[in-house]
Amino acid sequence: MSEVTIRKQRIKRDSVKVRLIVFGVLAVMLILCSIFSEYLTPYDPYLQDLSIAKQGPSSEHLLGTDRYGRDMLSRVIVGSRASIFSTLLLVAIITVLGTAIGVICGWNGKVLDTVLMRISDMFLAFPGLVFALAVAGCLGGGLQNAIIALAAISWPKYARIARSQTLAQKETAWMKAAKLSGSSTVKIIFVHILPNIIGPILVTSMLDIGTMMMELAALSFLGLGAKPPIAEWGSMMSDTRSLITTSPWITFSPGIAIFISVMIFNLLGDTIRDYADPKSRGR
């Protein structure tokens, strides 16, 4: 390998590390802001004052006020808790559920594998958001039901990844040696299989955070997620969409928050994928 090639690989590797640190810090800041959101708001996000209703952005109210005179900056900050925490909870649920089903199918095989994989095929056959709308509508709406609806349609992807990785690990020589040593099934799965398949699954879950945030916001926008007066970005946009021509800042404020958050998590996911790629690390 030439010196020029080695230098290019080193520069690329260093660039990936820098991006990982930058986007990781930004993501952590978003999460911390959502955790301490109630202490960061300049005003009470639920306090109504009709005398300043629909006031444009100013030095006093940086993002203006809504139709009830509530400070939009405060509502956007508080709304981050419902939006970001709900997204992270959803991604955690589908990652754990899908991985568990995939590992069981890959390890057990036979009838259980066939049945669960055919069920996953049925879920994958429907357009995701349309299916989520149907499930959320049947459950009656609400943020909790929106999470359940999206979890019900999102686990098959993780199950497929975990199953394929488990099947690959199952046929390795060291896995056969572990079986011959008398290790129990539980020990083999948690000690030998999961640590070796968790990388692609975690990368997929990181890349899914932005997608799940958009879909949760979409369900809330359509009235099947968080309900007013709860401050949640999707429901805030839905509640104020009729004012987009007269008071656009009211609708754009939560929309910009969604855009920035999704962009940060997507860029973080892409960077983690690049960092996990041996070629990007110069190996």
195-239 pLDDT per residue, tens: 888 888 998 999 899 999 999 999 988 888 888 778 889 989 988
- The pLDDT score that the predictor gives to residue 193 is 87
Reply yes or no on whether the pLDDT at 112 is more than 90.
no
Structural contact between residues 220 and 226, judged by C-beta atoms closer than 8 angstroms = yes
- pLDDT, tens digit (0-9, with 9 covering 90-100), for 118-148: 888 888 887 878 888 888 888 887 888 999 9
- The pLDDT score that the predictor gives to residue 248 is 92
Structural contact between residues 148 and 97, judged by C-beta atoms closer than 8 angstroms = no
Whole-model pTM over 0.85? yes
What is the spatial distance between Cα 45 and Cα 55, in angstroms, rounded to a whole number? 15
Give me 191's structure tokens.
């000690």
Residue extents of the structural domains in the chain: 3-276
Which burial class, exposed, middle or buried, applies to 206 when counting CB atoms under 10 A from its CB (0-12, 13-18, 19+)? Answer: buried
- The pLDDT score that the predictor gives to residue 283 is 45
Residue located via tokens 């860029």: 267
The count of other CB atoms within 10 Å of the CB of residue 27 is: 19
- The pLDDT score that the predictor gives to residue 192 is 81
Strand partners, 71: 65
Closest CA to 210 of 129, 269, 135, 141: 269
Q: Say how far residue 65 (Cα) sits from the centre of its chain.
A: 29
- CATH: 3.90.1560.10, 3.40.80.10, 1.10.3720.10, 3.90.1200.10. Which one for 3-276? 1.10.3720.10
